[in-house]
């Protein structure tokens, strides 16, 4: 078991938490993390880019001028890719960029990212966020107390807390995510992570069978 300090929102150490070695001591698998992140980003692409070929351009098919005798280059139609308003050669067409990744690989990638963040001192465990009402100023104070202001921060909550979400949504570089929804890319796409104590147990149930 690895022992980690637990803080309150004032930045004070209020206890410690033993995290199972199956998480804290897990040896990250970079190649799995890479595959899962690539698949995640590919699945975010809409793939709706579309250009028209010369056959799809709505224009007259009449030959602009006769083939010979004008001194100008020969031209068949106004839809030629050489002309302004003509078709596009080898342009993008709607396509599916999605990639399939097994649940097991997603589990290994998430476990790898979590272990790496724990062991690189990039994760701060807090007892609990308790906002009675949305207050951005109070959340900024929490970041300062934890010495995380001006950092790109991912906050992992144990439950859906609208007051927490509304307190942080106007702060640049801060993202709130529920522990049931957090993924590998989000863990990697931040400098620091703030996670509620209860959220670790929920994530543990997702990762350790």
Please write the tens of the pLDDT for every residue from 29-75.
999 999 999 999 999 999 999 999 999 999 998 999 999 999 999 99
Same domain, 170 and 78: no
- β-pair partners for 123: 193
Q: Which domain holds residue 124?
A: 2-45+99-207
Same domain, 29 and 52: no
- What are the angstrom distances between the C-alpha of 130 and each of 12, 137, 161, 167, 173? 15, 14, 9, 11, 21
Q: Which of 71, 96, 121 is the last residue of a domain?
A: 96
pLDDT of residue 98: 95
pLDDT of residue 132: 87
Contact 33, 187 (CB under 8 A): no
- The parts of the chain modelled with pLDDT lower than 50 are none
Same domain, 13 and 56: no
pLDDT of residue 27: 93
Same domain, 106 and 154: yes
Same domain, 77 and 140: no
pLDDT of residue 1: 53
Report the number of distinct structural domains present in the chain. Answer: 2
pLDDT of residue 207: 87
Q: What's the predicted TM-score (pTM) here? A: 0.84
pLDDT of residue 131: 87
Same domain, 90 and 30: no
Same domain, 104 and 191: yes
Same domain, 62 and 154: no
Same domain, 163 and 64: no
pLDDT of residue 80: 94
């Amino acid at each position: 078991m690895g022992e980690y300090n637990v803080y309150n929102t004032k930045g004070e150490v209020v206890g410690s938490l033993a995290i199972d070695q199956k998480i804290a001591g897990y040896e990250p698998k970079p190649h799995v993390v890479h595959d899962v992140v690539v698949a995640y980003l590919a699945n975010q692409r809409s793939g709706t880019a579309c250009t028209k070929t010369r056959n799809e351009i709505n224009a007259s098919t009449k030959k602009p001028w006769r083939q010979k005798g004008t001194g100008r280059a020969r031209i068949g139609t106004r839809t030629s890719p050489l002309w302004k308003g003509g078709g596009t050669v080898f342009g993008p067409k709607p396509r599916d960029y999605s990639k399939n990744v097994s649940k097991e690989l997603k589990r290994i990638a998430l476990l790898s990212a979590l272990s790496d963040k724990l062991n690189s001192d990039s994760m701060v465990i807090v007892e609990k966020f308790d906002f009675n009402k949305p207050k951005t100023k109070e959340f900024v104070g929490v970041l300062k107390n934890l010495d995380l202001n001006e950092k790109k921060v991912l906050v992992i909550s144990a439950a859906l807390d609208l007051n927490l979400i509304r307190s942080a949504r106007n702060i640049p570089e801060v993202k709130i995510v529920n522990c049931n929804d957090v993924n590998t890319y989000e863990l990697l796409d931040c400098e620091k992570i703030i996670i509620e104590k209860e959220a670790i147990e929920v994530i543990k149930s997702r990762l350790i069978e």
